[in-house]
């Protein structure tokens, strides 16, 4: 069994088996914490109570953000923080909530640019086990390369010019790869909708405490169809999976973006 490669969007593996893939075969609730649920009960009964009474249940049922989107947010936060203990069970929950194996594959490919190759490679190994268990075949996953989505030439030209003028002398390699690999390739891969890529990106940034990059990507997400209510509820979900301090650091940034958009001042960079 080959390990799934990030460069091939997990498609380089030979996955066997013919396990059922209906939603009823995917766990939720306490099962979404895997073996961690037993550890909580034995070591931190107070935490176990919060988990059973709210985090595993009511949180996922709140209006404003669909369970599928909550799974995308949660998986992105766990990968960004390299918290692999919960990841396998949350990948199972994501499948049960309607995130397809192809979308999870592309999520890992996309988040590699924002959480780093090491974190994404660790997530790929966890996903390999989940996909193998459910008989996911290589042809079900996005190809390593292929036709890309249309590029907004003006928006990209403006972004590239700003970044080049600001940082071209500091790190030409970063500027070049940001244009060539990130915005003219990774963001245009069709395996995950632009709105969902924005969910992944903003969740990753908040979870990692990278608040300076949030306005650009929150605006991009809302331009891609993410609503203010959904963005707000994303923070509610992230409070439990990325921690209160990271979310409270993000709250003023979200507030400022919402206010500027309401006044028609949304930024593009």
Domain limit, last residue, from 140, 155, 179: 140
Q: Which CATH number belongs to the domain containing residue 213 in this structure?
A: 1.20.1290.10
Residues in CB range of 104: below 8 A, 6 or more apart? 75, 91, 94, 95, 127
132 and 198 assigned to the same domain: no
Higher pLDDT, 15 or 131: 131
56 and 105 assigned to the same domain: yes
In tens, the pLDDT along 229-266 reads 999 999 999 999 999 999 999 999 999 999 999 999 86
For the cut 90, the answer to whether the pLDDT of residue 196 exceeds it is yes
The tally of domains found in the chain comes to 2
pLDDT of residue 116: 98
130 and 175 assigned to the same domain: no
Classify residue 145: in a domain, yes or no.
no
Backbone region of residue 267 per phi and psi (left: phi > 0; alpha: psi in -120 to 50; beta: other values):
beta
Mutual orientation of helices 67-80 and 194-207 as an angle, nearest 10°?
Answer: 50
Residues in CB range of 156: below 8 A, 6 or more apart? 179, 183, 184
Banded pLDDT at 38 (limits 50, 70, 90): confident
127 and 25 assigned to the same domain: yes
Q: Retrieve residue 213's tokens.
A: 């990059």
Q: Rounded mean pLDDT of 28-39?
A: 68
11 and 129 assigned to the same domain: yes
In tens, the pLDDT along 149-191 reads 999 999 999 999 999 999 999 999 999 999 999 999 999 999 9
Classify residue 149: in a domain, yes or no.
no
Classify residue 249: in a domain, yes or no.
yes
For the cut 50, the answer to whether the pLDDT of residue 10 exceeds it is no
Classify residue 50: in a domain, yes or no.
yes
110 and 61 assigned to the same domain: yes
21 and 119 assigned to the same domain: yes
Classify residue 182: in a domain, yes or no.
yes
19 and 128 assigned to the same domain: yes
Sequence-ordered alpha helix ranges (H) in 168-213: 172-177, 194-207
Classify residue 43: in a domain, yes or no.
yes
Report the percent of the chain where pLDDT is more than 70.
86
78 and 186 assigned to the same domain: no
3-class secondary structure, 81: coil
**Burial of residue 152, with CB atoms counted within 10 A of its CB: 0-12 exposed, 13-18 middle, 19 or more buried:** middle
Full DSSP string of 215-256? HHHHHHHHHTT--HHHHHHHHHHHHHHH-HHHHHHHHHHHHH
34 and 105 assigned to the same domain: yes
For the cut 90, the answer to whether the pLDDT of residue 138 exceeds it is yes
133 and 203 assigned to the same domain: no
69 and 172 assigned to the same domain: no
Classify residue 129: in a domain, yes or no.
yes
Classify residue 241: in a domain, yes or no.
yes
Q: Retrieve residue 234's tokens.
A: 């994303």
CB hemisphere CA count around 202 (13 angstroms)? 34
Q: Rounded mean pLDDT of 191-213?
A: 97
Domain limits at 109?
6-140
């Amino acid at each position: 069994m080959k390990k799934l490669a990030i460069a091939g969007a997990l498609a380089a593996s030979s996955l066997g088996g013919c396990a059922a893939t209906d939603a009823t075969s995917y766990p939720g609730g306490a099962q979404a914490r895997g073996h961690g649920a037993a550890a909580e009960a034995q070591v931190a009964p107070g935490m176990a109570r919060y988990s059973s009474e709210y985090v595993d249940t009511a949180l996922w049922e709140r209006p404003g953000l669909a369970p599928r989107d909550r799974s995308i947010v949660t998986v992105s936060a766990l990968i960004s923080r390299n918290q692999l203990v919960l990841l396998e069970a949350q990948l199972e929950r994501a499948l049960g909530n309607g995130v397809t194996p192809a979308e999870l594959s592309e999520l890992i490919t996309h988040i590699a640019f924002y959480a780093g190759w090491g974190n994404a490679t660790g997530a790929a190994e966890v996903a390999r086990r989940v996909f193998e268990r459910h008989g996911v075949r290589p042809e079900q996953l996005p190809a390593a390369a292929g036709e890309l989505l249309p590029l907004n030439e003006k928006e990209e030209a403006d972004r590239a010019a700003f970044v080049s003028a600001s940082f071209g002398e500091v790190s030409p390699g970063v500027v070049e790869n940001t244009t060539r690999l990130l915005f003219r390739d990774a963001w245009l891969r069709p395996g995950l909708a632009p709105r969902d890529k924005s969910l992944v990106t903003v969740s990753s940034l908040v979870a990692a405490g990278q608040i300076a990059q949030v306005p650009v990507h929150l605006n991009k997400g809302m331009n891609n169809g993410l609503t203010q209510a959904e963005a707000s509820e994303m923070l509610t979900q992230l409070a439990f999976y990325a921690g209160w301090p990271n979310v409270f650091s993000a709250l003023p940034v979200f507030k400022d973006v919402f206010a500027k958009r309401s006044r028609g001042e949304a930024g593009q960079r």
